[in-house]
Chains A and B, each alone.
Chain A
């Protein structure tokens, strides 16, 4: 068990190390001199040289990387070249907005996928099964940003039930937040619900065919108990994996959906940073989000250990 954890930790650290190199390389490859971007075209050569020195751009690349990593480890993800604020401050300011969108989308996805996946596995080849399979196929092909626009068209412009854009924090105004979050959450939630339904269905079908489920039925347990207590718990394993992996998709998807609904989250921040060529912030965001994603998948691994005793035994053995 301990050796399994150590090996996962080493892998985690290695992925973060390579990830940091990729982020560092991407930002260093951006054409143009960052000092010139900061100071504009009118800058004197002396001013440019001074800024380069201040930013450490006159140092060799490995030294720049080491300095950058040192700063990141100290919680300094870089500074906005436009607003001069720390990138981390900007990211943490926008993060609650994105997290509210991701959390609401998660809820919507689970509300759709659980009944759809469960019922289609319990009644294979029924109309519910066919309906949910079709939904899953359509859902993975649906451009979420188009779905969002179509929902705005229907529920905001035609029916006038919900606002077309705008963000309210769930902490400040829970009811208002519910109204403003509904369309974005459904938009992103459908994108997650589609693969989740497929995984839940196939996970349940696998488990329902196993011997121990047959034994439970032979013992005379009620079908509800067999499905709810015995089968579902094991089928959840595959769902946990897909949830962990899909979180990256959700974080990525939120970048586009925030743009559709005008939410001031990480997505809007990164797009604004790219448009303003504020690469200090771009670098901070990319590293932060990717590290967050890796961390979540590491947490999913640990959850896996808890959920599946077989992995614990293998890890221990």
Chain B
């Protein structure tokens, strides 16, 4: 069996990557916050003071207090509890949408870069056409086709995120394809599929991981925007975007509603971007020097 895939073993560098990641204060902040968010989302029923749909009519639009830490909405539902349960929606949409995008984008980019020629041209022109749409506009158009729901938001956001993965994968495959270790694996009798999946793909993983970590934050922003416009997750399911839209209509009476639901989106995306930036620096020191203009 050819052994080309063992030339760069990412597992050997893992402790170094983790060490570099933990050395950056912002990346550490992002990592801790992301872990806390995941814990809050997973254990929401045990952490949240109330059920997200628990109505207390006499406590309608209460300001933040000891009873309702972040206040209550027009139906007397606890905003903190809805934000905690909303984390489930946001993180689920973010990870599944980016999972869809990564699976499709990496496959397409790998095929384009490895096969080259007309297939490459055709695939990349389609990707260019997809990139030609302002992302939110394409997501809105897709939601019009699919109908507003949690699952469809994941699919729509997944589709609009495909080109980024395809381009990154293709660019890396193009540069790796001609490298000696790939030539060696080919000379040892490695077939096309083996070369693409076992030899080349593992060496493209770093930028794909970075793109995924930054993509989750962006996917959460797009989901929030779709839900804000009434095209994403539908009430009574707690979604930060739809909470923010409702908070906008109650801005005069209950400013805390919009403030805290938007803050939840901001802090989550910030944490994921910090983590993504840290990962980029940890996985690719060359990028760090370019970014800093060194």
- Give the contacting residue for B265; candidates A27, A29, A143, A252; CB below 8 A: A143
Q: Is the CB of A29 within 8 A of B252?
A: no
A15 beta carbon closer than 8 Å to chain B: yes
Known: A18-B125, A18-B129, A252-B134. A201 touches B247 (CB 8 A): no
Complex contact B133–A271 (CB within 8 A) = no
- Bound Cα distance A289, B134 (Å): 8
When distances are taken between beta carbons in the complex, the residues of chain A under 8 Å from B129 are 15-19, 21-22
Partner of B130 from A22, A205, A274 at Cβ < 8 Å: A22
- With A22-B130, A205-B292 known as contacts, the answer to whether A255 contacts B247 (CB < 8 A) is no
A27–B141 CA distance with the chains assembled, in angstroms: 8
Contact at A252–B137, with CB atoms within 8 Å? yes
Is residue A142 within 8 Å, beta carbon to beta carbon, of the partner chain? yes
Given contacts A157-B252, A202-B290, A290-B132, contact A256 B229 (CB under 8 A): yes
Secondary structure of the B side of the interface?
Answer: helix
From 144 to 192 in chain B, residues with beta carbon under 8 angstroms from any chain A beta carbon are 144-145, 147
- Which of B71-79, B91-99, B105-113, B255-263 is the interface stretch? B255-263
Any B CB within 8 A of the CB of A232: no
Q: Which of A16, A29, A146, A152 counts the most B-chain CB atoms under 10 A from its CB?
A: A146
Q: Which of A119-159 contact B (CB under 8 A)?
A: 121, 124, 137-138, 140-143, 145-146, 149-150, 152-153, 157
State which residues 26-80 of A face B: CB under 8 Å.
26-27, 29-31
- B271 to A, closest residue via Cβ: A141
Interface residues in B1-50 by Cβ distance below 8 A to A read 26
Q: Chain B residues near A23 (CB, 8 Å)?
A: 141
The verdict on A307 contacting chain B, using a C-beta distance below 8 Å, is: no
Smallest CB–CB gap between B146 and chain A, Å?
Answer: 9
Query: Is B225 engaged at the interface, CB distance under 8 Å to the other chain?
Result: yes
Task: Say if the beta carbon of B63 comes within 8 Å of chain A.
Answer: no
Contact B251 A145 (CB under 8 A): no
A-chain residues with CB within 8 Å of residue B252 when the two chains form the complex: 157
A162-192 residues at the B interface, CB under 8 angstroms: none
Check B144–A279 contact: CB distance below 8 A: yes
Distance of A186 from chain B, by nearest CB (Å): 16
Cα-based distance from A121 to B269 in the complex (angstroms): 26
B291 contacts A202, C-beta separation under 8 Å: yes
Contact A142 B266, beta carbon cutoff 8 Å: yes
Q: Does B284 contact A (CB under 8 A)?
A: no
A260 touches B293 (CB 8 A): no
Q: Which residues of B contact A255 (CB under 8 A)?
A: 134, 136-137, 140, 229
- The answer to whether B145 touches A141, judged by C-beta atoms less than 8 angstroms apart, is no
Q: Tell whether A109 is near chain B: CB-to-CB under 8 Å.
A: no
Q: A201-B293, A205-B293, A293-B134 are in contact. Are A149 and B244 (CB under 8 A)?
A: yes
B52 smallest CB distance to A (angstroms): 20
Give chain A's interface residue range (CB within 8 Å of chain B).
35 or more
Instruction: State the Cβ distance, B14 to closest chain A Cβ, in Å.
Output: 26
Also in contact, A286 and B262, with CB within 8 A (given A26-B145, A30-B144, A140-B273): no
Do A137 and B266 touch (CB < 8 A)?
no
Cα-based distance from A31 to B144 in the complex (angstroms): 9
State whether the Cβ of B135 lies closer than 8 Å to any Cβ in chain A: yes
Instruction: State whether A256 touches B248 (Cβ < 8 A).
Output: no
Least CB separation from B226: chain A residue = A256
Pair A256/B134 contact, Cβ less than 8 Å: no
Interchain CA distance A251-B133 in the complex, whole Å: 10
A149 to B134, CA, bound (A): 22
A206 adjacent to B26 (CB under 8 Å): no
What's the minimum C-beta distance from B33 to chain A, rounded to whole angstroms? 12
From residue A153, how far is it (CB to closest CB) to chain B in Å? Answer: 5
Does A193 belong to the interface (CB within 8 Å)? no
- Which A residue's beta carbon lies closest to that of B272? A141
CB distance from B149 to the nearest CB of A (A): 13
- Answer whether residue B274 sits at the interface, using C-beta atoms and an 8 A cutoff: yes
Closest B-chain residue to A121, C-beta based? B293
Chain A residues contacting B217 (CB-CB under 8 Å) are 141
* B133 touches which of A31, A253, A286 (Cβ 8 Å): A286
CB pair B270 A141 closer than 8 Å: yes
- Residue of B129, B143, B224, B291 with highest tally of chain A CB at under 10 A: B129
**Complex formed: what's the CA distance from A242 to B293 in Å?**
17
Nearest CB in chain A: distance from B41 CB, A = 18
- Asked if residues A294 and B132 are in contact (CB atoms below 8 Å), the reply is yes
Contacts of A285 in B (CB 8 A): 137
Closest-CB distance, B197 to chain A (whole angstroms): 27
Residues of B that sit less than 8 Å from A by CB: 26, 125-126, 128-130, 132-138, 140-145, 147, 217, 221, 224-225, 228-231, 244, 247-248, 251-252, 255, 258-259, 262-263, 265-266, 269-270, 273-274, 277, 290-294
Closest 10 CB pairs of A and B: A205-B293, A252-B134, A146-B262, A18-B129, A252-B136, A141-B270, A19-B129, A141-B269, A248-B134, A274-B144
Please list 18 pairs of residues, one from A and one from B, whose beta carbons are closer than 8 Å in the complex, sorted by A's number.
A18-B126, A22-B126, A27-B145, A142-B269, A145-B244, A145-B262, A146-B265, A153-B258, A201-B293, A248-B132, A251-B137, A252-B135, A252-B137, A259-B228, A274-B140, A286-B137, A286-B138, A293-B133
